[in-house]
Structure 1
Amino acid sequence: MESAIGVLVSQFKAFAGSDGSSDTLSRDEFQNLVKTQLPNFVKNADDPAVIDRLMDSIDENNDGELNFLEFWQLIGRLANQHGGFIQ
């Protein structure tokens, strides 16, 4: 599990850092991450409306960006769904 956490943190920082700040994901960075890293877990990631709805659902402070804790909410949701813990 430690290596999985390491990968999640490094991927977040890599995608977040594409615009200069590795602390938050902009909408475009988030869409790029979802399209390339989660193509089988997030359907229609090319659709801007899908990305907007997904981002809005986890952007707790409504600042238009995702910090790591907000991003972690998505990872938790996807893991729950993948593991069959959510019906």
Structure 2
Amino acid sequence: MCSNLKKAMMGLIDVFHSYSGKEGDKYKLSKGELKTLLQRELGDLMAASNDPTVVDKIMTDLDENQDGQVDFQEFVVLVAALTVACNDFFIDCEKSCKKN
């Protein structure tokens, strides 16, 4: 039986590869593939941003080697950053609730 962490890791790998390779390299996300992934998988977070250039900004930030694509390692950086932000948000909420 898989641990929760192993399931989460397998989930990340599955999500990445379910979007990568539709427009070229099967091991990388094009800008269009990244946009589709973000809209389908993180639509609620994306909708919170009223910035129409948010995908461009994310792509620029993630594409460390500037090849116009996001590889798995670059994708994991996004997931890690979002996870930290969500954790910080929930910790702050918990602290606020305890004060009230």
User: Paired residue for 2:43?
Assistant: 39
User: Paired residue for 2:54?
Assistant: 50
User: Paired residue for 1:73?
Assistant: 77
User: Paired residue for 2:32?
Assistant: 28
Query: What's the C-alpha RMSD, in Å, of the aligned pairs?
Result: 2.1
Could you tell me which amino acid in structure 2 is paired with residue 31 of structure 1? K
**Paired residue total:** 85
Could you tell me which amino acid in structure 2 is paired with residue 7 of structure 1? G
Query: In the alignment, is the contact (CA less than 8 A) between 1:27 and 1:65 conserved in 2?
Result: yes
SS at match of 1:60: coil
Distance of 1:83 and 1:39 partners within structure 2: 18
User: Paired residue for 2:95?
Assistant: none
Choose from 60, 65, 70 the match for 1:61.
65
Aligned sequence identity (%): 29
Change (3 A) 1:33 1:81: same
Superposed displacement of residue 39, structure 1: 1.6
SS at match of 1:40: helix
Structure 1 window deviating more from structure 2 (55-64 vs 14-23): it is 14-23
Could you report, residue by residue, the CA deviation over 1:32-66 in whole angstroms, capped at 9, with x for unpaired residues? Answer: 0000001233344883x110011101110011000
Could you tell me which amino acid in structure 2 is paired with residue 4 of structure 1? A
Could you tell me which amino acid in structure 1 is paired with residue 88 of structure 2? G
| TM-score in terms of structure 1 length | 0.86
Query: In the alignment, is the contact (CA less than 8 A) between 1:35 and 1:46 conserved in 2?
Result: no
Distance of 1:84 and 1:57 partners within structure 2: 21
